Amino acid sequence: MARVILDGVSVSFPVFNANAKSLRANLLYLGSGGILGQDLRGHVTIAALSRVSLCVETGDRIAVIGRNGSGKSTLLRVIAGIYRPTEGSVRVDGRVSTVLGAGLVVDEELTGWEAIEYACLLRGIPRDRIDALGKEVAEFTELGSYLSVPVRTYSAGMKMRLSFAVATCDAPDVLLIDEAIGAGDIYFLEKARQRARNFLEQSNILFLASHSEDMLQSICTKGIVLDQGEVVAAGPIRGALQAYHDVGGPPRNRVTVSAVEFAFAEASEDGQGEPGQPFASSSVPEHPPAGAFDGNARTYWLSDPVSRVRDTAFIGFDFGPDRSIEVRQVVLRQRVHDLDCAGCVTCVAVQASDDGFEADVRTAETIQVEPDVSKQSFTVPPIGPARSWRLLARSDSVAGRPWGLSELDFDSVPAERLDEGRAIGSDPAAMNVPVAAAFDGSPFTQWTAKERAEAVNGRSWIGYDFGPDREIEVRSFTLRQWNGGGNPNTIPAVKVQYSGDGFVTDVRTADTVKISENTARNSYDIAPSARARFWRLLADAPTGGGHWGVIELRFSQYPVRRSPGGPDHGR
């Protein structure tokens, strides 16, 4: 069983300029110690990978897609064990084999035969097998009599054949190929493809980084898209390639936001609370960020998210002996990019207890979680206050199911009931599926018909009229988009607007929110604005018309709040 697990892997490179790499700079640093030394030592670091989490199991052929410098090679080298991640951990079960450069790993003065022998040696193939495997490799390369002349006389394609053949000769469990394979001719690509398919039958894992989309599409089953060191999409190869095209445009400026920086202006209902104690069934939360606690919401990260749930696993929070909190909303983000997701935990129980879940275990709700990395928020029905709250995952399968959270918020503020009002939209005919059950207390849900997924030429919006007697300040919304089958031109962002007169003359914009590309339900926070009767999401179409279809929309008065202050507990 081959398996590759990356858990929150970050890699940052020091880039030494001539000064920083030399001894002089460091000696000067010792001597001066002040500003001069800092300047001399001020080497730049490049974040080549940031918080990449992956879980790849037997039989996957993964395309690693991304622009130049997006971190593809670094990712492969991290998996190969060549680079040690600066943060996070890598686990690879199985023997790894690599083709990471265009050249051969052995001296080019060697003849083809010798190169095969020594390259096998490098791969750690025992000597008694090298003879037999060497012959097979020679056969596969079809280099014939060229094998008797030095490799330096070979063309790039011929070298690549040799590297590929050696790398695959003894059916490694994990094969990593970077670019190099692109040098092959069409005939060879077909052979390589064939070999890659055999690979799958031998139930191994392939990672292939390339810019040749034809090749990726024909060899790989799944893809991950990297952009500036982050995994921005993962899934079946077609979708991944699509996402890669969507990434386009000039490179984004990287802004690293730590948990501390998620701050909202609005003060919490019951003021600053005392920090409680996070708890979990297995790993201890690793990064409880400062300021995560404001009496209501709470965020923390789990350190070992890919551990499998064999029986039950939970993560939760103990609010302390003196407090009782009623949790009304849960926001969670799962950490693992499990490309399969067959066998992930999809169902979690929200439970409350006053005695640490000994005798008193109350289940508030069982929620369905999307096997997806996106942040999802869920409303919990009222069951009264309790000291401890947790999410419980259960697995009946013997093998266990992967389970891991990267972020978990409990929010105790129950929102005001908003059970009256009516849906509004730019196309009233489309607003024909109001679901009664969706009016469950705080937020409300509104579906639009699927026909709304047509291209937006001009402007399209969907919103809510809270009625003449009420003014609401919307602070978050939950949105599920209708996916028209991998639509290339979806709306990247919506404007959250409010009005007092139905958007006739009074149109105010609260926030512009970037929409996640996937179809999962996502929740978004909105900057504080003002109270108003009418609220809407406005899709501003790019030229040519983007596609836009909302199948679920909830507005909530209360944002998931995280205050800037608060003690830094647990460090």
Is residue 231 within 8 Å of 224, Cβ to Cβ?
A: yes
Which residue number, 104 or 369, has a Cβ lying nearer to another protein? 104
Q: Is 280 in the site for another protein (CB under 8 A)?
A: no
Taking the complex as a whole, the smallest distance from the CB of residue 306 to another protein amounts, in Å, to 19
Tokens representing 341 are 């997701």
Q: Strand, helix or coil at 27? A: helix
Q: Is 96 in the site for another protein (CB under 8 A)?
A: yes
Which residue number, 46 or 530, has a Cβ lying nearer to another protein? 46
Q: Is 159 in the site for another protein (CB under 8 A)?
A: no
Q: 346-369: string of b/e by CB count within 10 Å (b at 16+)?
A: eebbbbbbbeebeeebeebeebeb
Taking the complex as a whole, the smallest distance from the CB of residue 129 to another protein amounts, in Å, to 12
From residue 443, give the alpha-carbon distance in Å to each of 54, 433, 497.
34, 17, 17
Is residue 155 within 8 Å of 168, Cβ to Cβ?
A: no
Taking the complex as a whole, the smallest distance from the CB of residue 114 to another protein amounts, in Å, to 9
Alpha carbon distance 367, 163 (integer Å): 50
Question: Which one among 17, 22, 312, 368 touches another protein, defined by CB under 8 A?
Answer: 22
Taking the complex as a whole, the smallest distance from the CB of residue 22 to another protein amounts, in Å, to 5
Taking the complex as a whole, the smallest distance from the CB of residue 106 to another protein amounts, in Å, to 8
Taking the complex as a whole, the smallest distance from the CB of residue 281 to another protein amounts, in Å, to 24
Residue linked to tokens 């275990």: 361
- Write the DSSP symbol of residue 515: P
Q: Is 153 in the site for another protein (CB under 8 A)?
A: no
Which residue number, 82 or 361, has a Cβ lying nearer to another protein? 82
Site for another protein in 60-79 (CB under 8 A): 77
Question: Which one among 31, 36, 39, 84 touches another protein, defined by CB under 8 A?
Answer: 84
Question: Which one among 10, 41, 69, 82 touches another protein, defined by CB under 8 A?
Answer: 82
User: Which of these, 118, 63, 356, 363, lies nearest to 237 by C-alpha position?
Assistant: 63
Q: Contacts from 144-147 at CB under 8 Å and sequence distance 24+?
A: 146/112, 147/111, 147/112, 147/113, 147/116
Which residue number, 119 or 345, has a Cβ lying nearer to another protein? 119
Which residue number, 165 or 313, has a Cβ lying nearer to another protein? 165
Q: Is 251 in the site for another protein (CB under 8 A)?
A: no
Site for another protein in 114-133 (CB under 8 A): 118, 121-124, 126-127
Residues ≥6 apart with Cβ < 8 Å to 27: none
- The residue range among 23-31, 34-42, 200-208, 356-364 that interacts with another protein, by the rule CB under 8 A, is 23-31
Which residue number, 23 or 257, has a Cβ lying nearer to another protein? 23
Is residue 294 within 8 Å of 562, Cβ to Cβ?
A: yes
Alpha carbon distance 445, 533 (integer Å): 17
Which residue number, 205 or 315, has a Cβ lying nearer to another protein? 205
Which residue number, 80 or 551, has a Cβ lying nearer to another protein? 80
Q: Is 100 in the site for another protein (CB under 8 A)?
A: yes
Q: Is 28 in the site for another protein (CB under 8 A)?
A: no
Count Cβ atoms within 10 A of the Cβ of residue 302 and give its class: 0-12 exposed, 13-18 middle, 19 or more buried: buried
Alpha carbon distance 269, 329 (integer Å): 15
Which residue number, 47 or 313, has a Cβ lying nearer to another protein? 47
Question: Which one among 3, 10, 26, 340 touches another protein, defined by CB under 8 A?
Answer: 26
Site track 343-372 with another protein (rule: CB under 8 A), x = hit: ------------------------------
User: Which of these, 202, 224, 192, lies nearest to 55 by C-alpha position?
Assistant: 224
Is residue 481 within 8 Å of 553, Cβ to Cβ?
A: no
Residues ≥6 apart with Cβ < 8 Å to 55: 3, 4, 5, 6, 306, 336, 337, 338, 339, 402
Which residue number, 42 or 126, has a Cβ lying nearer to another protein? 126
Helical pair 156-168 and 127-141, crossing angle rounded to 10 deg: 140
Taking the complex as a whole, the smallest distance from the CB of residue 92 to another protein amounts, in Å, to 10
User: Which of these, 278, 283, 348, lies nearest to 316 by C-alpha position?
Assistant: 278
Residue linked to tokens 């749930």: 309
- The residue range among 106-114, 192-200, 205-213, 310-318 that interacts with another protein, by the rule CB under 8 A, is 106-114
- The residue range among 98-106, 216-224, 412-420, 541-549 that interacts with another protein, by the rule CB under 8 A, is 98-106
Taking the complex as a whole, the smallest distance from the CB of residue 89 to another protein amounts, in Å, to 10
What residues line the site for another protein (CB under 8 A)?
Answer: 13-14, 16, 21-24, 26, 77, 80-84, 96, 98, 100-101, 103, 105, 107, 109-110, 118, 121-124, 126-127
